[in-house]
Chains A and B, each alone.
Chain A
């Protein structure tokens, strides 16, 4: 099975930088996703990492260390609209199906 841990809540100031961590334990790691979910809405895809290192996409970056079972999502120049939950999801190989398991999410509140 899989175990995914993320902080439940975080608060950060508009214009600042925030790092949301995710640790996982899985037997057949095959990729890690980050999604953003505003309250009452569907998750939207932010990033995907399968190799170690940093993936940058505008104000958002995602980092992966497979040996440590660790990832983080970095949000720069925070805006009020970034207030949302951020879901870490890990894919592993389970027989013929590559199963994706979602963490419980980190609720980020951006304050003025």
Chain B
């Protein structure tokens, strides 16, 4: 089955700890994205990548880092510099082209202990 997977479903972070959220897709999509969703707010773009070995900051990149070493994978690291990391994190991917509809993974809920 083609799709986007994210792991884990729930993740707990201790103060001062870095954590990495996984995102894998087998849709052969070129572009991948990370969003953060907080209650009562829209999805906010953290980072995006249009091709392998290239990525750009979104609207709220501070305290986050990414890598894109493979087309299929776009992991997000939430660093200790992110002071309010509790949120629902969504990964998405899209085929480059006219429509470029984004398809989302199931999400990871990050909680700070």
- A33 touching B101 by the CB < 8 A rule? yes
- B99 touching A48 by the CB < 8 A rule? yes
Residues of A within 8 A of B103 (CB): 45
- A97 touching B50 by the CB < 8 A rule? yes
Residues of A within 8 A of B105 (CB): 42
Separation of A7 and B44 alpha carbons in the complex (Å): 19
Separation of A41 and B106 alpha carbons in the complex (Å): 6
**Residues 83-109 of chain B, each 1 if its beta carbon lies under 8 Å from chain A, else 0:** 000001010000000011111111101
Residues of A within 8 A of B16 (CB): none
Separation of A48 and B99 alpha carbons in the complex (Å): 8
Q: How far is the CB of A34 from chain B (nearest CB, A)?
A: 11
* Interface of chain A: mostly helix, strand, loop or mixed: strand
Q: How large is the interface on B (under 10, 10 to 19, 20 to 34, 35 or more residues)?
A: 20 to 34
- A42 touching B43 by the CB < 8 A rule? no
Residues of A within 8 A of B106 (CB): 41-42
Beyond A41-B107, A42-B107, whether A97 also contacts B42 by CB under 8 A is no
Beyond A48-B99, A97-B50, A100-B102, whether A42 also contacts B90 by CB under 8 A is yes
Residue of B nearest to A98 (CB): B100
- B43 touching A44 by the CB < 8 A rule? no
- B104 touching A42 by the CB < 8 A rule? yes
Whether B2 sits at the interface, judged by CB under 8 Å, is no
Whether B82 sits at the interface, judged by CB under 8 Å, is no
Residues of A within 8 A of B90 (CB): 42-43
